[in-house]
Amino acid sequence: MILIVGGAGYIGAHINKILNKNGYETLVFDNLSYGHEEFVKWGAFENGDLGNIEDIRRIFRNYPITAVLHFAAFTYVGESVEDPQKYYRNNVCNTLNLLQVMLEFGIKRIVFSSTCATYGNPVEIPITENHIQNPINPYGRGKLMVENILSDYSEAYNLKYVSLRYFNAAGADPDTEIGEEHNPETHLIPLVLDAASGKRKNINIFGTDYSTEDGTCIRDYIHVTDLADAHLKALKYLENGGSSDYFNLGNGSGFSVKEVIEEAKKITGKEIVAVETERRAGDPPILVGSSEKIRSVLNWEPKYSDLSVIIETAWKWHEKNND
Ligand code: UFG
């Protein structure tokens, strides 16, 4: 049985679906602080908190866990700057609790959600896994700390891990069973779709004076179902005796904020009012990752990489959810 920590969230729920479709039994462990119980449509569910080590022990005592996928983390970069304690306690200390109990029960396989934010401001595009990791906020630093902890645990305790450094996860389950749902929402694509549906008056473009072709920031958007498939492959890799490793998880191509808005206009057929505003603090102009390594080592191939497909699936979910 696979333990999905944080499996009631946007990304964890998509992975739960793909694992079940591929014959795995799963258990979602989530404290529902940001997750949604209605997203746990497959496998078993236990409400519990990584901050409480007894909650974790109870899970490992009661279920035949063979591997762990860990998604439970706070993800608001701005908030991590204002309240770093919240981020280090949850994203780092609570992960130590999880690892401790895994070792107590002799479970030695984990797939960890890391982020391109561990690289900080890129000095080279596309970003490869060898790019210097110099995060510029507590969110990225906490994720890098866990990457380093995993590496030390791998050496010392023979724990096998795969860290996946996500670029911009986006889109929704093509069957619209689950989708993106954050409160508050800060991500570009769901906000653009809110502006299309009239839920919001407009979309703010944060900065039009970046050193990019149209002046707006460029990001590497990866469909959440492709991202889920990478986790399935990472899990199988560990089950087949693969050694500890880390991979970028992006498409390898970038789109600007303006391009995203234009594409959303086409797909939704709606007017979208865009308001040009100041830059948002901490946004690098371009974040595009090389996905060569994951393609060659894990044999991963994205199927939904077109921006149009990403926005289409997000829009289908958005419409269903608004009904
Ligand atoms: N943006 C806008 N207007 C908005 C929201 C976003 O113009 O209302 C812009 C941002 O400035 C950025 C781009 O759209 O240029 C994408 O922004 P998101 O907030 O959707 O995503 P980020 O690239 O900021 O964040 C992602 C992940 C984080 C991760 C970060 C690393 O979601 O978890 O990359 O930098 F930490």
DSSP secondary structure of 112-146: EEEEGGGS-S-SSSSBPTTS----SSHHHHHHHHH
115 and 31 within one domain: yes
Residue 127 in contact with ligand 1 by CB distance below 6 A? no
Q: What CATH code is carried by the domain that includes residue 257?
A: 3.90.25.10
CA 126 – CA 44 distance, rounded (Å): 39
Q: Which of 24, 119, 139, 221 is catalytic?
A: 139
306 and 233 within one domain: no
The reported pLDDT for the residue numbered 33 is: 96
229 and 130 within one domain: yes
Does 98 fall in a domain?
yes
Is 198 in contact with 88 (CB distance < 8 Å)? no
Residue 117 in contact with ligand 1 by CB distance below 6 A? yes
Give distance in angstroms: CA of 110 to centre of ligand 1.
Answer: 27
Among 234, 249, 264, identify where a domain stops.
249
108 and 211 within one domain: no
194 and 90 within one domain: no
The reported pLDDT for the residue numbered 282 is: 87
The reported pLDDT for the residue numbered 218 is: 98
Residues of the chain with pLDDT under 50: none
Residue 186 in contact with ligand 1 by CB distance below 6 A? yes
Number of domains in the chain: 2
Residue with the smallest CA separation from ligand 1 atom 18 is 187
CA 191 – CA 170 distance, rounded (Å): 12
22 and 120 within one domain: yes
Reduce the DSSP state of residue 218 to 3 states and report it.
strand
The reported pLDDT for the residue numbered 187 is: 97
98 and 17 within one domain: yes
The reported pLDDT for the residue numbered 322 is: 80
Residue with the smallest CA separation from ligand 1 atom 19 is 187
163 and 199 within one domain: no
231 and 104 within one domain: yes
CA 134 – CA 110 distance, rounded (Å): 24
9 and 26 within one domain: yes
Q: What CATH code is carried by the domain that includes residue 74?
A: 3.40.50.720
> Which residue range forms the structural domain that includes residue 243?
2-169+222-249
40 and 112 within one domain: yes
8 and 120 within one domain: yes
For the CA of 257, the closest atom of ligand 1 is: 14
The reported pLDDT for the residue numbered 323 is: 67
The reported pLDDT for the residue numbered 212 is: 97
Active site residue 139: yes
Give distance in angstroms: CA of 59 to centre of ligand 1.
Answer: 35
